[in-house]
Amino acid sequence: MLFNSIDFAIFLPIVFALYWLIPSRLYKYQNILILLASYVFYGWWDYRFLALILFSTLVDFSLGKLIYQETSVLKRKLYLILSLIVNIGFLMYFKYYNFFLENFIEAFSFFGNRITSNSLNIILPVGISFYTFQTLSYTIDLYRKNLSPAKGFFAFSAYVSFFPQLVAGPIERATNLLPQFYEQREFDYLKAVSGLKQILWGLFKKILIADNCAEIANIVFNNSEEYSGSSLVLGAFMFTFQIYGDFSGYSDIAIGTSRLFGFNLMQNFAFPYFSRDIAEFWRRWHISLSTWFRDYLYIPLGGSKGNLFKKVRNTFIIFLISGFWHGANWTFIAWGFLNAFYFLPLLLSNKNRKNLNVINEGKLFPSFKQFLGILFTFIQTVIAWIFFRVESLTHAFSFISGIFSKTLFSIPLIIEPDTGYSIFPKKTLLLIVLFVGIEWIGRKDQFAIETLGENWKAIYRNLIYYSIIFLIFWSFGKEQAFIYFQF
């Protein structure tokens, strides 16, 4: 079920009404309703996926109890390893089996040995990368004694399958989200209004920004050999805003929807395209995944402690695994490698934690130095996203070489497939300018319109919301799936 669908527009009010009809003191029954709604939401794509998430829930609930109760260090470690094997094993099978098989065959073919094998027709369960990491955080934190085991199976199941963030995050830690299922949740009008505002902004990002940018990006990337260097730059620029609007839009809708039910999720994006260096970008982009890798992989490896070799090694390991987490393709690994390469000068000069504050908070414009930092980081990001979007490394290199041609400074034009006419996407670019302006004004908040116009008269403040609603309905067309559903 897509957030930007009629199905969800019907589903959400029904679940919301039923949920708050249950008295707050009976929060355990609210948990059961959340669990049932989550399974309906997830099974909407394919009911077969439900067996996998149920099995994963049963395994980690059971192993979590054993890890917590066991006094033997060896047995506790064995139970944790079993949890890792089951969860990562499922992930490797469904997501990476064909990748490893095909590359294994190619490696032997390179040395003149012929191996024939058929790839399996494996359906990738939606959101498996997200809820796998969520359940792993539970067993790991139990092993580290940072958490007590779940108080009931229904509460734990609701935590694993919580429908607002199930298929594309944020990846919530059990230490944050699970305890919220153990307490009464009173309806808070102001919290609900804030949630609706964040949902509205998420829909703006998805429908107005991401989907409009996708039209141009798809045309350019799918026919890149036919376009000038300037048109290729425009296509890469459009994908840069497509993926941000798409993914952060999903997170906004997820966080806002959770607020309607009295839950608080972590912020997943903090205006990353205003970053002054690539280290700051990664503190602001997909925060739940970045901090997951930091706490469960980077720090256990030694983090930034130790000699220079270990620092560099750990940095590349994190970025390469982060790239591979996104998909079974060498392009994602190259994307991770490129970001590690970007990060390296900051690490070596100990400047990777230089920009921790909100950029020029309280001021209308950035300084010239800050602007150059933002521009340079943005260009780095645009180039990296090319590897993320293409289907092969060959395509990536031909795309980039096409940019640096004599046509780089020509006027970019896009050929409309239906008509064959050349167009320039003025409407989409104007929407991006509007979007960036609003994001800049609201960059100190959790989401851009959280406090926008709070000191204005109600009529003017409401005009903003009605204008956004009008633009969403004006642009609403075919339901477009979110990019991160494939991960």
d(CA 399, CA 377): 20
CA angle 454/456/458 to nearest 5° reads 90
Amino acid identity of residue 164, one-letter, is: P
Q: If you search the block for the tokens 């369960």, which residue do you land on? A: 125
3 state DSSP class of 414? strand
d(CA 39, CA 273): 35
Catalytic residue of the set 197, 283, 284, 326: 326
Whether 326 is a known active-site residue: answer yes
* 60 in Cβ contact with 157 (< 8 Å): no
* 137 in Cβ contact with 225 (< 8 Å): no
- What pairing do the DSSP bridges indicate for beta strands 414-415 and 422-423? antiparallel
In the numeric block, which tokens belong to residue 127? 């959101």
* 180 in Cβ contact with 34 (< 8 Å): no
3 state DSSP class of 422? strand
Per-position b or e across 409-421, b if 16+ CB within 10 A of its CB: eeebebeeeeeee
**Bridge partners, residue 436, by sequence:** none
Per-position b or e across 48-86, b if 16+ CB within 10 A of its CB: ebbebbeebbebbbebbebbbeeeeeeebeebbebbeeb
* 127 in Cβ contact with 166 (< 8 Å): yes
Phi, psi of 10, rounded to the nearest 5 degrees: -90, -40
- For 7-44, give the DSSP string: HHHHHHHHHHHHHHHS-GGGHHHHHHHHHHHHHHHHHT
Residues sharing a CB contact under 8 Å with residue 86, sequence separation 6 or more, in sequence order: 56, 59
* 339 in Cβ contact with 352 (< 8 Å): no
Q: Which residues are catalytic?
A: 326
